[in-house]
Every structure is written in C-alpha cells, then in structure tokens.
Amino acid sequence: MAGALLLGTPAIGMAAANQVQSESAAKANPFRLGVAGYTFVNFDLETTLKTLQQLDIHYLCIKDFHLPFNSTDEQIKAFHAKCASYGVTGYGVGPIYMKTEEEIDKGFAYAKRVGVKLIVGVPNVELLPYVDKKVKEYDFHYAIHLHGPDIDLYPDAEDVWKHTKDLDPRIGMCLDIGHDLRNGKDPVADLKRYQSRVFDVHIKDVTDSSRAGTGIEMGRGKIDLPAFVKMLRKVNYTGVCSLEYEKDMKDPFLGIAESIGYFKCLMNNV
C-alpha cells in the first residue's frame, strides 16, 4: 500500500503542476473566446445558447436572425435576459451588409438599441466616408468583415487596411483568418501588420490557401493556429476571437466542439 501511495505521488504532483501551468497560461491571454452568430444560422437562440453553455463560451456576436432589426425595446431586453441566463453576453452585432446611407443609419441605430459598441459591417466602399461620420457621431468601433476571393468587396486584411487607414481610427476590420488565407495572405503576419485596426477576429480553419479552400475543424487545416495564438498575445489583442464554423452547418455541433476544444488547448499550452 505504501509503495502504491509513493508511486502515485509523483503523478499527482505532476497533474497538479500541469493544472497550475494551464491556469497560468490561460490567464496570460488578453483576448476572449466567443462564437459568431452566423455559426448557428440554421438554429434558434435557445439551441445556440445551450451549445455555448455546454462549451463554456460566454460571448456571442449577435446576428439579426436571432434578434431582428425591428425588435422592440422589450424584445431586446428579453434577448439579453435569456443570454444572461446561460452566462452569455452579446458583445457586438453583425456582419451587417450596408449598401445605402439608410442601411448604415439603420445598422447604427440597431446597435445602439441593442446596447453594444461594436458593429461588424460590410459597407459599400463609396459609403465609407458616411461610415466615418457615423462612427464619430456614435463613438462605436466598426469592424469590416473580409470575405476572401469569393467576392470583390474586401477580400483580405490588406484591402480593408487600404480602405480604412486614413479614416477614423475606430474603423478597422474583423479579421476572418480563413478568408484571409484563402486569398493567399498570411493571417499571422496580417494580425501583426494591421493590429491597430483589428477590432474583431473570426477564427476557423480551411483546407487550402486558395479559393478552393473550404471550412474544416480547427487544427485539421492549413492555418498555423499555434502561431496565431502567440501573435494574439504578442500584439496584446484584447477583443474577442469568435469561432465562425462553416462546415456541416446543418449539423455542426461535433465540429464546433472539436474546434473550440482545440483552440482552448492552444490558449492554455502554446
């Protein structure tokens, strides 16, 4: 018995040491982990929140299919109460496509009523001066979502930077690392290069660094996710990294769990 206890002691000590190391590493991360609402485009709010609770995720970027633009103040209050009951906070809204000044007005008014100060948006390029005006008026951060090679509008981080570098410093990007890679860019280098304009991050993995790349569970694709986590720390990114999972979107739950588990492991160990 004594021998068994002695043999077990180093293992217990090592497990305790690993736990302390893991907790210490987790505390060193300046960013928060969340989920982009689009991940749950085929599911209602209840299913979304239950999934986030099971994954121990506490931040959600709100999409209008869960909280419509025409929601009343009472409906918005009920939405937040429901999120809070699952330990979830809606930290921003979007992505919202904005093709007219009226749509920009509507998006900013919606975000104000929802009670957030971050809009993930996709405005037509010619409307950027008007976005600049609204950002000054509302004191919001506006993160332009980049979309890779599938559409011409904001294909990568460099393109967003070129369009925003001379605008109000509260206008920047939602760095979608999958689409950035699919347009032949390096998300790690782009985070470093454009850090002052990165206000939101969509984390994911993709099968190839070209237009042919498609979504896959994080850790199985081409993105150097350990290097990306290290860069998040190096640039002291204090926003949210939200999983936008786009594989098997009608049955995504195992892939979401695998991806979140993988990323949490990186957060605690790299």
**Quick one: pLDDT at residue 41?**
98
Residue 55 CB: number of other CB atoms within 10 A?
18
**Quick one: pLDDT at residue 11?**
39
**Quick one: pLDDT at residue 25?**
44
Q: DSSP for 248-264? A: STTS-HHHHHHHHHHHH
DSSP conformation class of 159: H
**Are 155 and 149 spatial neighbours (Cβ–Cβ below 8 Å)?**
yes
Please work out, in degrees rounded to the nearest 5, the angle formed at the alpha carbon of residue 87 by the alpha carbons of 86 and 91.
Answer: 115
**Quick one: pLDDT at residue 179?**
98
Going by C-alpha positions, the residue among 197, 264, 224 that lies closest to residue 58 is 264
CATH fold label, 29-269: TIM Barrel (3.20.20)
Helices (H), the chain: 2-27, 45-55, 73-85, 101-114, 128-138, 157-164, 177-182, 187-193, 225-234, 253-269
How does pLDDT run along the chain (270 residues), one tens digit per residue?
333 333 343 333 434 444 444 444 445 899 999 999 999 999 999 999 999 999 999 999 999 999 999 999 999 999 999 999 999 999 999 999 999 999 999 999 999 999 999 999 999 999 999 999 999 999 999 999 999 999 899 999 999 999 999 999 999 999 999 999 999 999 999 999 999 999 999 999 999 999 999 999 999 999 999 999 999 999 999 999 999 999 999 999 999 999 999 999 999 999
**Quick one: pLDDT at residue 28?**
86
Domain boundaries, the chain: 29-269
3-state secondary structure 36-65: EHHHHCCCCHHHHHHHHHHHCCCEEEECCC
Total-model pTM: 0.89
